[in-house]
Structure formats: structure tokens, C-alpha cells
Amino acid sequence: MLTERHQTLLEARGLDIELMIGLGVVSSDRLGLDTISIPYFAGTEIVNHKYRTISGDKRFSQDEGGKCIFWNRNIISDETLLSQPLIITEGEFDAFAALQSGFARVVSVPNGAPANPLGELASGKYIYLDDAPSTMRDAKEIILATDDDAAGHALRDDLALRLGRARCKWLQYPKGCKDLCDALARYSERGVVETIARAQWLAIDGVYKLSELPPLVSPEPFDSGFPGLSEHYRLRVGDFCVVTGAPGKGKTTFTRELACRMASRHGWKTALASFEAIPQLDHRRAIRSWYAGGLVKDLSHSEIASADVWADEFFRFLVPTRTKT
């Protein structure tokens, strides 16, 4: 039974004493004067107890050798509730708050939250997930009612990773509250109902609604100054363009000319990966000729030197590394 003192302490939190008694909660002295015992059922069998203080320092313990399962585990496989969202809380008191507010399909993790997220690391921390009834795999909506603190966020993310982020929601609590029990104490059952009704789907990286995407700035088109081309084609940063044609029809010559014009007019830099042309011979000769405006054989040493400096500033060449044997 629950002592009168314990009933008073629990009622001060807004908790329904009759509900808690119906769930088997009784007074205990295991952790001192103000301790209660919460039974864990698997079917009709009690397989563990959670002991916790309800005044002073918060302390917890469980039965030695007790089974690590969800509190209220049986509700997961209740066929009359399969269409309802499954609510997972960080503690039994938060589960009590949800139950007395009209949410029947509620369970609590048995061992609280980790100090830091475990991510994909294997750990006995979440062994209770392996023991959960198979119907949990079919739950289309799971509300993770973890605390609004660092440990609660770690638990939320770890559970979402293991249960499937796409079917998980999270809760934003009323001002001044960090969990459902706080919402109950401050705003009664209405606060719990409204908090759960506002549950939001967890974000999935790379997946957005159209309204969530930032507006794009239209890229500026740049004129290459290429005779006969500017009226039909202008270059934009980020565009992908394929120049195609039969062998020997001037694809390399055309793209190199275009690159030279964009460097001269707009300061664009180009990486050339033309493996049929030798940079030291073909590209160097063509760039020198374009920059100086004449055949290489007619250029002075100073004109060639200026062209080479310009080429080093605006061009890079991708050349396969040849392994020495």
C-alpha cells in the first residue's frame, strides 16, 4: 500500500493515486523513508521492481537480477490499441502522467537516459528493445517523450536510431517544463494532452518539405565574348555542360578557347583534364598563342614569359601519375 505521507507527496506532483495503486505502486523503505516500489510485469509475472525516492535526493535501484524490460510492456501487444501511437517516456512518472491524461499506449524505459549518446555502439543499455513484443516493429508512429536536457536528447537520438527515425516524433514541452510530469504538475492533464498533440516528426537529414528549402539566388550568366555564341549560350557558376562531337572536330580547341576567354573577361580559373593533349606541348603552345595574339614562333621572349605567368595564374592541368618501375 501507499502510506498517507507518500500519497500526499505524489498528489503534490499532480499524479493520480488511484491509478498508481491500480498499477501496483506501493511504499517501500529500500532507499530510505520516502521510497516507492514500481512493479514491472511481463504478462502476469512480476520480473523486476524499480525503487525510487520521492523526496530529497533522487535515487533509484532495481531488483538484483531483475529483468530489463519496458515498464508497462504488456500494453505494446494490446490488440485494441495497435492503431494508437506508442509513447515512450524516460521515466515511470512521465508514463503515469500520460496514462492519467488519456493516453493508454504508454511505456517507460527501465534505466533512464545515457550521459552521452551511444550512437551505433553495441550496448546492453538498450537490451529492453530486443525483449519488446513483435508488434512494436509495426508501430507507424512512436512519440519519444524524453526529458528536455542533454541526457534526454541522447536517449531520444539513440532510440530513434534503433527504432527508425522516420516513424519517431519528439515533444516540445511548455515553458518551465522539462518532461510530461512537469507539464502535469504545472498545467494538469490539459498540459500533457496539448504537449503530446503538438508532437513533431524528427527531421531526417536531406529530406525537406518544399517550404523548408531556402530560396535560391538565380546564378548570374556570364558572356564569354565568343563570336556567334553569346546570343545563344552564357556560362553560369555551378552549371554542368557537355561539349560533344566527332573526333577531330575541335572540341578541345573550342573548350580551351572558351576557358581562355572566361579567364580574360571574368577571372575564371580552369582545370584542364585533356589526356589526349600534352600540357607541356599542346596546351602551352595554344595558350601562349591565344594570350599573345600570334603564332608562338613569332613571339618574343618577353611575350612568351608573360603568357606563361598568365597561364600559371588561371590554369591547372590534371595529369595521370606514371608509376616508376
> pLDDT per residue over 29-57, tens digit each?
999 999 999 999 999 999 999 999 999 99
Percent of the chain residues topping a pLDDT of 90: 84
Q: Name the average pLDDT for the chain.
A: 94
* 216 has pLDDT over 80: no
Q: CA 112: distance to chain centroid?
A: 22
pLDDT at 97 (0 to 100): 98
State the pLDDT at residue 322: 67
Q: How confident is the model at residue 203 (pLDDT cuts 50, 70, 90)?
A: confident
Structure confidence by residue, pLDDT tens digits, 155-187? 999 999 999 999 999 999 999 999 999 999 999
Find the mean pLDDT for residues 191-211: 91
Q: What is the pLDDT of residues 82-119, one digit of tens each?
A: 999 999 999 999 999 999 999 999 999 999 999 899 99
Comparing 218 with 288, which gets the higher pLDDT? Answer: 288
Q: Which residues pair with 143 in a beta bridge?
A: 87, 169
- 72 pLDDT tier (thresholds 50, 70, 90): very high
Q: Are 261 and 226 in contact (CB under 8 A)?
A: yes
Query: Measuring CA to CA, how many Å separate 274 from each of 49, 75, 251, 253, 256?
Result: 73, 67, 10, 11, 10
* Mean pLDDT score, 255-278: 93
Domains in the chain and their CATH numbers?
A: 1-67 (no CATH), 68-204 (3.40.1360.10), 217-325 (no CATH)
User: Per the structure block, which three cell numbers stand in for 280?
Assistant: 607541356
